[in-house]
Copies of this chain bind each other. A is one copy, B any other.
Amino acid sequence: MAVYTHLGAEDLAELIGHYDVGDLVSAKGIAEGVSNSNWLIETTGGRYILTMYERRIDTGELPFFLGLLDHLAERDCPVPATIHDRSGAAFRTVDGKAVALIEFLPGVSPNQPTATQAQALGTALAEMHLAAQDYALSRENDLAPVGTLAMLEALDADALAAIDPALPSAIDRGREVVAAWPDDLPSSIIHSDLFPDNVLMLGDAVSGMIDFYFACQGAMAYDLAVTHAAWAFDGTGRTYDPAIGSALVEGYCAVRPLGDDERAAMPLLAQAACLRFVASRAEDWIETPADALVTRKDPMDFVRRWDFYAENGAALFA
């Protein structure tokens, strides 16, 4: 959560001048996004989010991400459309960095979602999966289990054990997940990171799904499993909320019922989701100095979810 780059009023006004959105009225750097800087922009024509891509994102992938937003928004998914500049370009360059102007969506991210909200999200996720199926571009999933296992294997075993003595065993468990991974589940473009921060709600309605920068080709049921792990537990992963978990799956299946193969795979997919966040959090933990002003997220929060799915997954998704 940061704004990494200072963009002055003059830079912003110059940039906004390339779009057919009126004159700049206000610009506030907002504390969202981990790999980019964002501003909430107000013009005489409306409100927008300006994103500057700082790192992690290969600008060669921007046509995939920004085109996906347009594709989904055109199909009435609650996703911010990309605002194109007067020449039709989806992104521009400022100071050597790519920037995109996207639609501002109302809504707030739920901190303690209700079952009704989880059901609405399940429905929105299924609709998004269906709407994305005829998207023309594709992107490989570099955070598929085989990739996240490799990330975990590359970390120093002593450093992992220093975070928690139980953490190194995630490597062997991850190998089992990868060995059992089904390659033939129905796929589409998946969000892959639909934590509550990436969902905006107005009351019980989903007004926005945002931050598609992990979107890629993948098993739709895996995306549901990621969302389940992200929504149905308290932050530490110690307490599972069955009402949220059931409502999410129910909302999803109301639009796109899971096939038998998907349902059977759910316990494994949920464990794969945990592997992924264990690996990325462990890497961030080891790479982030303990005294940095960034809160490190404990990978054990997802080891606990993993334990839960290993034990209860079969009954949970039956």
Q: Which residues of A contact B (CB under 8 A)?
A: 1-3, 6, 8-13, 24-32, 40, 42, 104, 106-112, 200-202, 289, 291-294
* Distance (whole angstroms) from the CB of A19 to the closest CB of chain B: 16
A29 touches B31 (CB 8 A): yes
A26 touches B291 (CB 8 A): no
Residues of B within 8 A of A11 (CB): 111
Residues of B within 8 A of A2 (CB): 1-2, 31, 293
A107–B9 alpha-carbon span in the complex (Å):
9
* Max chain B Cβ within 10 angstroms of own Cβ: one of A28, A42, A104: A28
Task: Say which residue of B8, B25, B109, B111 sits within 8 Å of A109 (CB atoms).
Answer: B8
Measured CB to CB, the nearest residue on chain B to A12 is B108
Asked whether A111 and B28 contact (CB < 8 A) given A291-B289, A291-B292, A292-B292, the answer is no
B3 touches A108 (CB 8 A): no
A201 touches B40 (CB 8 A): no
Measured CB to CB, the nearest residue on chain B to A7 is B111
B294 touches A8 (CB 8 A): no
A293–B287 alpha-carbon span in the complex (Å):
13
Residues of B within 8 A of A291 (CB): 289, 291-292
Q: A26-B108, A28-B32, A28-B40 are in contact. List 19 more A-B contacts (CB 8 A).
A: A2-B31, A6-B111, A8-B112, A9-B109, A10-B111, A12-B108, A13-B108, A25-B106, A25-B107, A26-B104, A27-B108, A28-B28, A29-B30, A30-B30, A30-B40, A31-B31, A42-B106, A289-B291, A291-B291
Residues of B within 8 A of A31 (CB): 2-3, 28-31
Q: Which 10 A-B pairs have the closest CB atoms?
A: A8-B111, A9-B108, A29-B31, A3-B31, A28-B30, A25-B106, A26-B106, A9-B110, A27-B108, A293-B293
A24–B294 alpha-carbon span in the complex (Å):
28
A112 touches B30 (CB 8 A): no
A110–B24 alpha-carbon span in the complex (Å):
12
A107 touches B292 (CB 8 A): no
